Each structure stands twice: as C-alpha cells, then as structure tokens.
Amino acid sequence: QQPPTTSSGMSESPSVAPLVGDIGSITQSMLDRWGLFSLLDAELLNRVAFAFVYGANGNEAVLVTGDDCVYCIGNGTAGPGIISEAHLNVPGGLAVQLDALCGCRVVELASGSGPHLLALTDSGDLYTWGSNSHCQLGNGNTNQLLQPTLSSLLKVCSIACGASHSLALTQDGEVYAWGCNNCGQVGSGTTVNQPSPRRLAGPLTNRRIRRVGACQSASFAVSVAGEVFSWGCNKHGQLGIGGASGANQNVPVRLTSLERRFIDSLACGQSHVLALTDEGELWAWGANSFGQLGRLDCRSNGDSGSGGGGGGGCGGGSSGGSNNNGNNAFTPIRVLQQRGRFIDIGAIHYSHTSAGVTETGLVLAWGLCRGQPVSAPIVTRFLSVNDVFACMSHPPVTCKRLDFKPNYTVSIAQSIQLAFNDSATSDVTFQVDGKLIHAHKSILRIRCDHFRTMFNENWNQTQSAGVIAIRDFSYPVYWAFLEFLYTDNVNLSPEEAISLLDLANCYCEAPLKAHCERLIKNSITIDNAMMLYLAAVKFSASELQKFCFEFAIHHLTRVVSTEAFDELDEATLRSFLRQAAAAGAFKY
C-alpha cells in the first residue's frame, strides 16, 4: 500500500490496526500487558466487555461481561476477590462471580487503597464493598462488607475514590463525600471522619458539577462552567491554590489561577493533578519528586505566591523552560506541548505515573515509570493511557475502565484490512489527482449505499474494466474514505477532516460522519471555532454544531475577535447571536 500524502507533504502510515491474535474479545497484546488476565480461561475472556484492575500490587480486578455478569479476581483481603480451594471450580477458574451485581448493568468502578470499591450502574444506583475502617463505604459504620451492598445515595452519575474516602456526583450536579477526613478531604469543614454520604455546600452551592476526582487525601470537582474546586491535603501543593505553607483545606476552594481556562477533565495521581482544557492544553500541579508534572512552561504560572520553601513552581522561581529538579508546584503550570494538543490524560491515586494522548494519537508517559523518574513526556508505542499504567506504573492498575475489543473473527477482519489498495486482487480502481486507489466492488457494495447503487446490474463491463475518475474530492480525502470502508478507522489530519465530512454528507455515510465529527472536535481552537461551527451548520452535523457553539460561548470574548468570526455570513451570524443570547451569554 502507498499511503496518502498530507497537505504538509509528509507521508502518513495506514491506520490499519496492528495484527495480533485474539482470544475471544481480548487481544494477545492486552494479555501481554495485563498478565493478571492470563489466569482466566478463554470462555470467560470471550465474554468480558470491560475490566477494572486495582490493588496495592495490581493483582485484583473486577470484570463485567457483555451478558451483564460481574466477576472478581484477587487476594480477598477485604472481600472483593476471595481465592480459596472452594472457588477453583467456579466458571473462570480463579474468578468469583459477584451475584449482587449481576444483572445490574455496571458501567463504572472506583477503588481505594484498603481496598474499598464503588460500583455504579446505568440507572444511577451505587454499590459499595470492601474495607471500611475509615467509613469509606458510607454505610454509617466501620464494618467491612464482603459483598456489594446498595447505597442509600440515588441518581449517581460519576464516582471517585481516594485512599480511604469516596466521592459521588449525582445527576443533579451535586457532590457527596464520605470516609476518612483527617486532611479535610470530605469537605465538611472539620477533620472528623464522615460515616455516610454528605452533600458538599459552600462554594459548590448553586454550581452544577460535572466531574469529580481524588488524590490519596485530596478531592476535586469541575463545574459545567469549567471551574476547578479542590479540598483536603495540600502538603505537596496538590490543591493548586497557591501559597507556600501547603495548608490543608477542609472546605472546597476555587482555583482562581485557572479561571480563564475551561477545564474539561482532571486526572489525579497520588499527590499530583493533571488538568486538560477544552483547547487541548495540559496543566499540572502538586508533587513532582519523580517528574510526574512533566516539562513545565514556568512562564504560564500566574500566581506569584506559588512555591516557596523548596516547593515552588519551576525550580523555585526560574523564569521559564523546564522543571527538572523535582520541585513541587503549588499552582497550576502549563505543560509544554512539544507534541501537539492533548485529547486524553491519565493518573491514579495509587501511583506517581502520568500519561497523555495527543491529537495525532501519540501516547506519552512521564513521572515514575518502571521505578525510574522521567521528568519530561516521552513517546511510547502504546495505544492508550491504560497501556502506560499496565507497563510503567507501580502498581500496574487501570486509571479508567479498560474496554475489551468486540468479539469478532479476526482472520476475516484482518483479511479485509489487508485487501485495501491491493492491485493484485482488486476489481475496481479510482483515479484521484492523477493517483490510483485499488478497491473491491463487493466490499464497497456491502459497506456503502452509494456504491451499492453504482455497481448495480446496469453497470456495464466496459465501465467496470476501466478507471473511475473522482474530481470532487482530493486524493487524501478519498483515500481516507475508502480506507474507512475497509478498516472503520479514519487516518486524516483534522484540517482535511472537514472535506471528509463533506464527502460523508454527500454519500449519506452516517458512521463516517460521526468519525469526522469526533476528529474535528479534538482539533477545535479559539481561532478555528467559528470556521468549524460554520462547517457543522453547512453539513447538518448537529452534534458538532452544538459542541462548537458551546466552545465558542465558553470563550466568547476571544472568539468574537477572530478572523473566522468576522467571515461569518449574515444569516449564520444572526442565528449564532440569537442562540448565544438564549444561552445567557449576554448579561445586560
């Protein structure tokens, strides 16, 4: 295959997935990285939909199958995975079925250091079990639970665990906390342990929260307006609120140094935090003894009160460059983005490892990696942030749910992928910009209604023996379109994805349209937001239009000063302003 050349003149590798043998729904490469799953038999592995690996040694896990059964494996120190001779005959060998969760449609899991576990169902029910010496199960006492037990908290949509405390976010945008409170991590205004879920007030009152997270002894919340709030332990600056004393906070405090950024997501390590903005900027603060904050742009630290006493932002007051000396950062500092904008990040309270994924698909790792401090993000050969934690973190635990591949016959899928642009087996050729792309009519007819109509019984032999000239789209765009029909992957720059969105709209290819929208979302900036908004309107991409509109509203002052905003036609501008007014963008 000859991959297309991008507008920058650089060759891109085809996006066909690596060819590895599968055991049911789990790839061999996944087995190699998560050795814990090698203990299970193929029958169970074939059914697993997603997994969650946890524990001080990374040797415990919860598995959720596609048919809604839940299993656990582990050492059983707190009940989550009892391994004994009596369990060797259950399905899955070393796996024990959690009857209380089977049929409940579990969608999210979180664990503490005890360990204690939380399980969230798609209906908003919360189950807790495991260690409870600090009231972290929220059942009103300190008795451990050996089986998942339904919590009194209802309509939960997200969960998080610190070492010995728990957080839950309800569908109404309210935050509840309970458990160990020695550093104020429950946010109750005291340092007394909280035996049952308690709703947080103070600065969170009348603010709708959409994300929660936790370091070992600190807690975080992100509002729908992109604000960040923190409370709990601040020994290493992990609250990000500045000051040299590192004083703990027993009520939520807003991070004022990030008030001009819209924070989309957080990843919380043992004592450090990563924050990703909707523009793909990565910010970091807290402990940095192993380089877990990455290579920092010290000029981005707007709080002159950060640092001090050997705990300052970048080298205790250096003017810029990198933070290689291990000093903590008491306020958020932007991580230098030498590999482009980030679209995903990972950290977990068990470890000092950090990970991120760029818009081009590069997976980066830094911090404590296999026992070695790595002070600047390095490019890995991994495919996701969870891969980084499987191979680099101690313990090797998942930083988010680990989704298994859908179950399919690999030999057929691989054969179809390899057949793309194979001139030896193709029976139809497209010519675009003077270059040839070889394909197969049968595959195109199966995958695309446009080609099904084109290659009907009236398609004559002289046409089929010739070359089909394509004049409406560029070579990289048409290559990406045909490749998608063979692989379900889109390998194209975000800039050219708009043209591919045009093609998907013309050919009525809804799956391709969805892929393009996701790719374009990851490339949005202040400068191009209105250009992407206009493209979304033009191609009837409602989800992309909504995303671009919300992004523009969050950054309205800067967006209206861009060239793209000035170039809006009158009708689109009028429609945008009306929507902005309805959204409350204009206060007077």
Distance, in Å, from the CA atom of 438 to the CA atom of 422, rounded to the nearest integer, reads 6
Residues 6+ apart with CB under 8 A from 153: 126, 138, 168, 170, 176, 197
Rounded CA-CA distance 439/368 in Å is: 47
Task: Report the SS3 class of residue 72.
Answer: strand
Q: Which of 270, 264, 169 is nearest to 214 (CA)?
A: 270
Q: Is 536 helix (H, G, I), strand (E, B) or coil?
A: helix
Q: Distance between CA atoms of 166 and 160, rounded to whole angstroms?
A: 6
What pTM, to 2 d.p., does this model score?
A: 0.76
Q: In angstroms, rounded to a whole number, what is the distance separating the alpha carbons of residues 478 and 496?
A: 11
CA distances from 558 to 224, 278, 525, 526 (A): 19, 14, 11, 7
Asked if 62 and 109 touch (Cβ cutoff 8 Å), the reply is: yes
- Structure tokens of 435? 């270059």
* R_g over Cα of the chain: 26
The backbone torsions φ and ψ at residue 553, rounded to the nearest 5 degrees and listed phi first, read: -65, -40
φ, ψ of residue 584 to 5 degrees: the values are: 85, 20
CA gap 359, 267 in Å, rounded? 18
Collapse the DSSP code of 42 into the 3-class scheme (helix H, G, I; strand E, B; otherwise coil) and give the result.
Answer: helix
How long a stretch of residues is the chain? 588
The string of pLDDT tens digits covering residues 414-457 is 788 889 999 999 999 999 999 999 999 999 999 999 999 888 76
Query: Whole-angstrom Cα distance, residue 172 to residue 155?
Result: 8
Q: What distance in Å separates the CA atoms of residue 127 and residue 157, rounded to the nearest whole number? A: 13
Contacts of residue 26, defined as CB under 8 A and 6 or more positions apart, other chains included, come to 37, 45, 48, 404, 405
Tokens, residue 539: 């191609």
pLDDT of residue 540: 85
State yes or no: cis peptide before 18, omega within 30 of 0.
no
pLDDT at 6: 38
Dihedral sign for Cα 470, 475, 478, 483, please.
Answer: positive
Question: DSSP for 238-254?
Answer: TT----SS---EEEEEE
Report pLDDT digits (tens) over 61-83: 999 999 999 999 876 544 454 43
**How many whole angstroms separate alpha carbon 114 and alpha carbon 111?**
8
Q: Which two tokens stand for residue 443?
A: 């595959």
| Domain-wise residue ranges, the chain | 209-380, 411-582
Residues in the chain where the model's pLDDT stays below 70: 1-28, 75-93, 244, 298-325, 405-411, 457-465, 587-588
pLDDT at 279: 93
* Domain at 411-582, CATH homologous superfamily: Potassium Channel Kv1.1; Chain A (3.30.710.10)
Instruction: Specify the DSSP element, H or E, that contains 197.
Output: strand 194-199
Cβ partners under 8 Å of residue 100, min gap 6:
127, 147, 148, 149
How many whole angstroms separate alpha carbon 430 and alpha carbon 77? 62
Predicted pLDDT at 30: 74
Give the integer Cα–Cα distance in Å for 512 and 534: 19
The CATH fold assigned to 209-380 is Methylamine Dehydrogenase; Chain H (2.130.10)
Residue 52 CB neighbour total at 10 angstroms? 22
E strand intervals along 59-164: 60-65, 70-73, 96-97, 106-111, 116-121, 126-130, 145-150, 156-161
Angle, CA of 143, 148 and 149, to the nearest 5°: 70
- The SS3 call for residue 372 is strand
